Amino acid sequence: MTMPAHQVVYDVLAEALRPREAITVSAWADLHRQLSSKGSAEPGQWHTSRNPPLREIMDALSTQSETQDVVVKFPIQMGKTECAVNWLGYIMDHAPGPVMVALPAEVSMIKWSNQKLEPTLEITVPMREALTSVASRETANQKFFKDFKGGQLYLEHAGSPARLKSTSVCYLIVDELDEFSSELKSGDDPEKLLDGRVSAFPATYKKLRISTPTIKGTSRIDAAYEASDQRMYHIACPECRHEQPFEWSGLCWNEDATQCWYACRSCGAVIHEHQKTQLIRAGRWIPKYPGRTVRGYTINGLYYPVGLGPTWLKLVHEFREAANDPPKLKTFLNDRLAESWEDPATRAVRQDMLADRAESYALRTAPSGVLVVTAGVDTQDNRLAVHIVGWGHGMASWTLDYVELDGDPANDAVWVSLTELINRPILHASGALLRVAATFIDAGGHRGEAVKAYARKRLIPRVAPIYGATAVNAPVINRGKFHDVTWQGVTDKRSVVIYQVGTNQAKHWVYGRMGADAEKDVEKRLVHFSEHLPDMFFAGMTSETWDPRKNRFFNRRGARNEPLDTYVYAYAAAHHPELRLHRYTIADWNQREASLLARAPKDSDIATGTNTQPLPARPAVQQRKRKSGGLAGDDWSIQ
């Protein structure tokens, strides 16, 4: 019997209007997701049961979940990107809407398309059928743009601010967040730009951020996880049933690393690796801060499913091989344990620890150990940051002052303030007066010509513009070169000497010394700070960390590094070819000390008022060559 035409129409409309059956992302993946041999060790049907910790993460992204922001800090090969692909398929087939996948760079975007997206579209039927076109020449099916029923897919990268600003989406997937640059050429923060992409869907948006961590203090995924409810995957001890996460510190092995096992933190029971499959299957995510709205998940390589990652014993061998090699150790911590790297040399140099070691001497007064004073100046568009440092035996240092002078360096006023500050004498503990012997000023940024023009006037002793050296192994300062100065439309040929400063080497030096001071008594410390310095100074001195993979220091997120940079410049000024303090022998320092004490006022002079006359004006200082690092002609103490 033929069905009436109107009945067919009604049935079609009813099917179209029938609400979709509620389904979770993990259930959708178990039904539909196919893994390609191009990117999976086990191609074929996806099974969430193969890696149980992924289930809750995916289901938090389902339409019936109220969670809007999910952060995943995972090691490599743990399935974090597969979670993103599963969610993408769920969106295209079950919850259509505009979606963006953001990668850190164009290369990674192309790789994600070639290795993840295209192979999945080829073999996962619901995703392929959702596309409005599969023809490669159609505008609806481009490599980095796909039109599908009810939505659009955009693949973007953070190399172009325009790409991140141009689209509003309901769903956002950010892969390898830690590889995003700290700042785009436009000055924008790429993560903030991405946050703006979902602002048009305040009630319905969902966002997934995934990454392996990198450097402690600069890691974006670390910061995102810290702001989340901080979930860890707990397993129950087979003996005492105490719930605990697998942690690297709980893994034990024998002396020759031929056997390993896990020890329960509560009862000490031995847990063997063959037990972990069942333990993980029965485990659960437990949040540290359950009231927070952002879901954060972290896990480590001890949870690798059997056959899909290195065994516990293999991880032990990797760790032992990397233990004494910082770049390898960083890779192990990042890739296998999902922990950010912190340089051992800087680990003991924290803001609070440095502030706790501050001493009681007053600013602009030189303790008895100070024998020579130099200064470093950092140039910003609206201020000069000035760090005055005293040096003594063995290049021990004392911060004597840290000042920020407001004013645009393109104008004269701030330079007048700098001249007055540098030329103002500093009272030594002996009663003698010291002057700043050399000043290095950063000529990078937008005010380089203003710096060179100021240095050319020689209003302060041994003033020189500097640039940071490009080479990571550059010496603290190079030989110096004559440069032209173009100021107010007039070019003065070869009128100023500019030095390149090896900031990488200098920062290793100062961090090593600050770290070594942690357990020393005051009189044995090598780097001294006054308790009268502001908190921001100590934050600035500890604002950078070393990345062994790139062999460079990087600024920690949210910290201003001018105190550290200016200290480095003052340290470089101590290497000035007319000072060469780093070459001083014990005899040189002793001679410098004797010369200073000889000029200190005696008790009888103070009683009779001798040596209390006003100081003479400081004559302009002329540059002169030196053939060696001796003492003659380089003493800028006031006579």
Q: Residues 481-491: pLDDT tens digits?
A: 877 676 665 66
Q: How confident is the model at residue 520 (pLDDT cuts 50, 70, 90)?
A: confident
Which architecture does CATH list for 22-230+288-299?
3-Layer(aba) Sandwich (3.40)
- The answer to which of 15-19, 56-60, 621-625 has the lowest mean pLDDT is 621-625
pLDDT of residue 405 exceeding 80, the answer is yes
- In this prediction, residues 64-83 reach a mean pLDDT of 95
Kindly state the percentage of the chain with pLDDT values over 70. Answer: 85
Residue 184 has pLDDT above 90, yes or no: no
Determine the pLDDT at residue 2. Answer: 57
Q: Is the pLDDT assigned to residue 637 strictly greater than 60?
A: no
Q: Is the pLDDT of residue 344 over 70?
A: no
Query: pLDDT band at 549, cuts 50/70/90?
Result: low
**Residue 626 above 70 pLDDT?**
no
Dist CA 461 CA 630 (whole Å):
18
Q: Which of 385, 573, 565, 571 is nearest to 462 (CA)?
A: 573
Which amino acid is residue 106, in one-letter code?
A: E
Rounded alpha-carbon distances, angstroms, from residue 473 to 32, 507, 552, 572: 53, 12, 10, 15
265-320 confidence digits (pLDDT tens):
989 899 999 999 999 999 999 999 999 999 999 999 999 999 889 999 999 999 99
Q: What is the mean pLDDT of residues 254-269?
A: 92
Contacts of 406 (CB under 8 A, 6+ apart): 382, 383, 414
What does the pLDDT read at residue 558? 66
Q: Rounded to 5 degrees, what are φ and ψ at 565?
A: -60, -45
Q: What is the pLDDT of residue 606?
A: 44
Cα–Cα distance measured from residue 359 to residue 430, given in angstroms and rounded to the nearest whole number = 18
Considering only CA atoms, which of 48, 53, 41 is closest in space to residue 26?
A: 48
pLDDT number for residue 9: 58
Average pLDDT over residues 359-364: 94
Q: Would you say residue 624 has pLDDT above 50?
A: no
337: CB partners within 8 A, 6+ apart: 75, 248, 300, 301
Q: By CB neighbour count within 10 A (0-12 exposed, 13-18 middle, 19+ buried), where does 627 fall?
A: exposed
Q: In a 3-state reduction of DSSP, which class is residue 394?
A: helix
Q: Per-residue pLDDT for 371 more than 60?
A: yes
Residues 76, 335 contacting (CB under 8 angstroms): yes
pLDDT higher than 70, residue 196: yes
Which neighbouring-strand residues pair with 466?
A: 442, 499
Beta bridge partners of 261: 252
Give the pLDDT confidence score for residue 280 in this predicted structure. 97
Which neighbouring-strand residues pair with 365? 427
Residue 638 pLDDT grade (very low, low, confident, very high; cuts 50, 70, 90): very low
Q: Which residues contact 75 (CB under 8 A, 6 or more apart)?
A: 212, 299, 300, 301, 334, 335, 336, 337, 338
Distances 146 to 111, 209, 402 between C-alpha atoms, Å:
16, 21, 56
Distance, CA of 161 to CA of 304 (rounded, Å): 37
**Cα–Cα distance for residue pair 55/81, rounded to 1 Å:** 13
Q: Greater confidence, 371 or 21?
A: 371
Residue pLDDT, tens place only, 122-171: 999 999 999 987 665 566 668 889 999 999 999 998 877 777 777 889 99
> What pLDDT is recorded for position 474?
83
Please tell me the predicted confidence (pLDDT) of residue 560.
Answer: 86
Cβ 300 vs Cβ 33: under 8 Å:
no
Q: What are the boundaries of each domain within the chain?
A: 22-230+288-299, 238-283+310-337, 351-602
DSSP state of 303: G
Which range is least confidently modeled, 82-91, 110-119, 471-480?
471-480
What number is the average pLDDT over the span 353-372?
A: 92
Q: Is the pLDDT of residue 51 over 70?
A: yes
Whether 631 has a pLDDT exceeding 50, the answer reads no
Largest CA distance in the chain: 129
Q: How far apart, in Å, do the first and last CA atoms of the chain sit?
A: 119
For the chain, what is the mean pLDDT?
86
Phi, psi of 279 (to 5 degrees): -65, -40
Q: Which among 105, 73, 67 has a CA at the least distance from the CA of 87? A: 67
Distance CA 7, CA 19 (A): 20
| pLDDT tens profile 422-468 | 999 999 999 999 999 999 999 987 788 899 889 888 999 999 999 88
- Going by C-alpha positions, the residue among 157, 90, 83 that lies closest to residue 116 is 83
Q: So what's the pLDDT on residue 7?
A: 65
Q: What is the pLDDT of residue 69?
A: 97
The residue behind tokens 């702001």 is 227
Of the pLDDT bands very low, low, confident and very high (cuts 50, 70, 90), residue 243 is very high
Tell me the three state secondary structure of residue 29: helix
The residues near 48 (Cβ < 8 Å, ≥ 6 apart) are 26, 29, 30, 54, 55, 58
Q: Which among 148, 24, 29, 169 has a CA at the least distance from the CA of 85?
A: 29
Give the C-alpha separation, 333 to 75, whole Å: 9
CA–CA separation, 338 vs 318, rounded Å?
Answer: 15
Domain 351-602 has CATH 1.10.238.10: no
H or E element that contains 490: strand 490-501
In this predicted structure, the answer to whether residue 212 has a pLDDT above a threshold of 90 is yes
pLDDT of residue 622: 38
pLDDT band at 630 (very low <50, low <70, confident <90, very high): very low
pLDDT confidence tier of residue 326, bands split at 50, 70 and 90: confident
Q: Are 243 and 267 in contact (CB under 8 A)?
A: no
Q: How many CB atoms lie within 10 A of CB 551?
A: 12
